[in-house]
Amino acid sequence: MLYLKISVFICQKIRSSKTAYCACAVEVDICYLILKMLVKLIIFKQDRPVKLKKKFKQYSKEAMIAAYDAVCKKRMKVDQAAREFGVPSQTLRDRVLKKIDLNARCGRDTIFTQEEEQALVDHIRELTEIGFPINRAQFNILASEMAFKLGKFNNEKRQLSTKWYYKFLERWDKELKLVKPRKLTSNRAAALTTEAIDRYFEELERVMTKYGLQDKPHLIYNLNETGLQPKHRPPLVISHKAINNTQSITSPNSTTVTMISCINAAGTALPPYYVFKGKLENKEWLRGAEPGSAHTVSETGWSNGDIFQRYLKEHFLKFIQRGNATDDKVLLLFDGHTSHVSLDIIRWARENNIIMMVLPPHGSHALQPLDVGCFGPFKGCYYNECNLFMAQHRGRVITRYDMAELSGKAHLKTLTPINIVSAFRKSGVVPLDRSQIPPEIVRPSETFKRKTSHSLPPP
The DSSP result for 291-310, as a single string, is TT-EEEEESSSS--HHHHHH
Query: Both 27 and 132 in a single domain?
Result: no
pLDDT of res. 457: 36
Residues in Cβ contact with 177 at an 8 Å cutoff, skipping those fewer than 6 apart: none
Q: Is residue 52 part of a domain?
A: no
Per the CB < 8 A criterion, the answer to whether 96 and 72 are in contact is yes
Q: Whole-angstrom Cα distance, residue 325 to residue 70?
A: 69
Tell me how far apart the alpha carbons of residues 159 and 146 are, in angstroms, rounded to a whole number: 11
Q: Is the Cβ–Cβ distance between 273 and 303 less than 8 Å?
A: no
CB-count burial class (<10 Å; 0-12, 13-18, 19+) for 328: middle
Which residue type sits at 1? Answer: M
Question: Which of 328, 353, 331, 349 has the alpha carbon at shortest distance from 340?
Answer: 349
Phi, psi of 331 (to 5 degrees): -95, 125
Q: Are residues 225 and 349 in the same domain?
A: yes
Cβ atoms within 10 Å, residue 102: 15
Domain match, 263 and 382 both:
yes
Could you tell me if residue 344 is inside a domain? yes
Distance CA 366, CA 434 (A): 12
Burial label, 283 (beta-carbon count in 10 A; 0-12, 13-18, 19+) = exposed
Query: 226-264, pLDDT tens digit by residue?
Result: 999 999 888 887 777 788 888 888 899 889 999 999 999
Neighbours of 279 (CB within 10 A): 7
Instruction: Give phi and psi for 104, each to the nearest 5.
Output: -65, 140
For residue 52, pLDDT beyond 70: no
Identify whether residues 140 and 256 lie together within a single domain. Answer: no
Same domain, 159 and 268: no
Per-residue pLDDT reduced to its tens digit, 398-411: 999 999 999 999 99
Domain assignment present for residue 163? The answer is yes
Q: What is the DSSP letter of 258?
A: E
Handedness of CA 394, 399, 404, 410 (dihedral sign): positive
Is the pLDDT at 18 greater than 50? The verdict is no
- Write the CATH number for 338: 3.30.420.10
280-297 pLDDT tens trace: 999 999 999 999 999 999
Same domain, 314 and 362: yes
Domain holding 161, by residue range, is 114-171
Alpha carbon distance 79, 67 (integer Å): 10
Do residues 361 and 334 touch, judged by C-beta distance below 8 A? no
Q: How many CA atoms lie within 13 A of 170 on its CB side?
A: 7
Look at the chain and count its residues: 459
Give, in order, the Cα–Cα distances in Å from 8 to each of 3, 45, 165, 306.
9, 19, 55, 103
Please tell me whether residues 267 and 140 are part of one structural domain: no
* Cα-to-chain-centroid distance, residue 5: 65
User: In the beta sheet, which residues pair with residue 263?
Assistant: 222, 269
Contact 405, 370 (CB under 8 A): no
Domain boundary among 171, 189, 219: 171
pLDDT for the residue 459: 34
Please say whether the dihedral angle defined by the alpha carbons of residues 356, 225, 314 and 337, taken in this order, is positive or negative. positive
Per the domain annotation, does 227 fall within a domain?
yes
Together in a domain, 87 and 118: no
Residue 104 placed within a domain: no
Our count of domains for the chain comes to 4
Q: Are residues 37 and 122 in the same domain?
A: no
Same-domain status, 133 and 220: no
pLDDT digits (tens, 9 = 90+) for 259-282: 999 999 999 999 999 999 999 999
Q: Residue 90: inside a domain, yes or no?
A: yes
Q: Answer whether residue 181 is part of any domain.
A: no
Among candidate residues 52, 70, 96, the one where a domain is terminated: 96
C-beta of residue 334 within 8 angstroms of C-beta of residue 291: no
Instruction: Render pLDDT for 111-139 as a digit per residue (tens, 0 to 9).
Output: 888 888 999 998 888 777 766 788 888 88
d(CA 160, CA 239): 33
Same domain, 268 and 377: yes
Q: How far, in Å, CA of 151 to CA of 149, rounded?
A: 5
Question: Is position 325 within any domain?
Answer: yes
Whether residue 139 sits in one domain with residue 73: no
Are residues 210 and 202 in contact, defined by beta-carbon separation less than 8 angstroms?
A: no
3-state secondary structure of 126: helix
pLDDT of residue 60: 76
pLDDT digits (tens, 9 = 90+) for 356-408: 898 887 788 889 999 999 999 999 999 999 999 998 998 899 999 999 999 99
> Tell me, what CATH number does 82's domain have?
1.10.10
